[in-house]
Amino acid sequence: MSNKPKHIYEFGPFRLDAGEHLLLHDGVVVPLTPKALDLLLVLVERHGHLQEKEALFKTVWPDTIVEESNLTSHISAIRKALGEGGNGDRFIETVPRRGYRFVAEVREATPVLMRPPGAALVEAAMEPALPANVTSQASRAGRWTLPISLLSLGLALGLFVVAAILVPLIDTLQLGMGVPVFSTVIPLIVFDSCP
């Protein structure tokens, strides 16, 4: 899916931005897992057409063996995020034992075709920031990589320094107190060889 052009789809009060991997409801980000967004994007791109379960598995989880319950739970999460059933709106139809169909009317938003150089930087500076609780999965994972690495390195270095200081100190204290560091008892048996 990554080599397709990125589109923006609108249905009901929702806007699905394929390029930014975001679902918005009246301009507010709707939290969905990355796989749920991938699944929603496949259904929306092929709206009105039945999507067989096996085709969804191959598209959303191409190199992974996935149980049907995983697909069902993602569809359920999407329905919950879309607020299906609460106000009579219906977006995803289940076709028993076959698959799913996105049934809502979908409009493709017109993308901006030409922008002057640097326009993206200006637009990004002018856009309001996402809420603090909305971050991409990559930034959440990357945020902790350096601190954890530094903490691990600090702990290893600290243990090494403590061991390097304490081991000779303990040996010195034991010798100063007259306590032998190592004591070995060798039994001695004397045989008299006189006849």
d(CA 52, CA 95): 9
What pLDDT is attached to residue 194? Answer: 60
Q: Beta strands 92-95 and 28-29: pairing type?
A: unpaired
What pLDDT is attached to residue 114? Answer: 43
- Is the Cβ–Cβ distance between 40 and 61 less than 8 Å? no
Cα-to-chain-centroid distance, residue 65: 18
The stretches in the chain having pLDDT less than 50 are: 1-2, 112-115, 119, 121-122, 124-125, 130-139
The set of residues, in sequence order, having a beta carbon less than 8 Å from that of 57 and lying 6+ positions away, is: 66, 71
d(CA 8, CA 6): 7
pLDDT tens digits, residue range 156-167? 878 778 777 877
The set of residues, in sequence order, having a beta carbon less than 8 Å from that of 32 and lying 6+ positions away, is: 23, 40, 77, 78, 81
What pLDDT is attached to residue 132? Answer: 46
What pLDDT is attached to residue 177? Answer: 60
The set of residues, in sequence order, having a beta carbon less than 8 Å from that of 123 and lying 6+ positions away, is: none
Output the pTM of the full model. Answer: 0.54
What pLDDT is attached to residue 152? Answer: 81
What pLDDT is attached to residue 100? Answer: 92
